[in-house]
Amino acid sequence: MKAEFTIKSERCKGCGICVAFCPKQILALDPLGKIYVADQEKCIGCGQCELRCPDYAIFVDRVKEAGAK
């Protein structure tokens, strides 16, 4: 399962909660303190970042990989 991200940077206050809870460590904060996806290929689509974000700044859409059932 892969995921596509929607990030509302205007909502992100740079708390880093999503970064801390990501089990694959694919998220990071940019120099302005805003969230970005550093390594999408490692994402397992667990949705912990979306679940933990207090500002509703990140949304995860899970997509099936080609050939997956």
Per-residue pLDDT, 31:
95
Please report the DSSP string for 21-48 in residue order. Answer: H-TT--EEE-TTS-EEES-GGG-----H
Per-residue pLDDT, 3:
87
CATH: 3.20.20.10, 3.40.470.10, 3.30.70.20, 3.40.605.10. Which one for 2-63? 3.30.70.20
Instruction: Report how far residue 40's alpha carbon sits from residue 13's, in angstroms, rounded to the nearest whole number.
Output: 21
pLDDT tens per residue across span 1-40: 678 999 999 999 999 999 999 999 999 999 999 999 999 8
Instruction: Report how far residue 61's alpha carbon sits from residue 30's, in angstroms, rounded to the nearest whole number.
Output: 22
Per-residue pLDDT, 60:
94
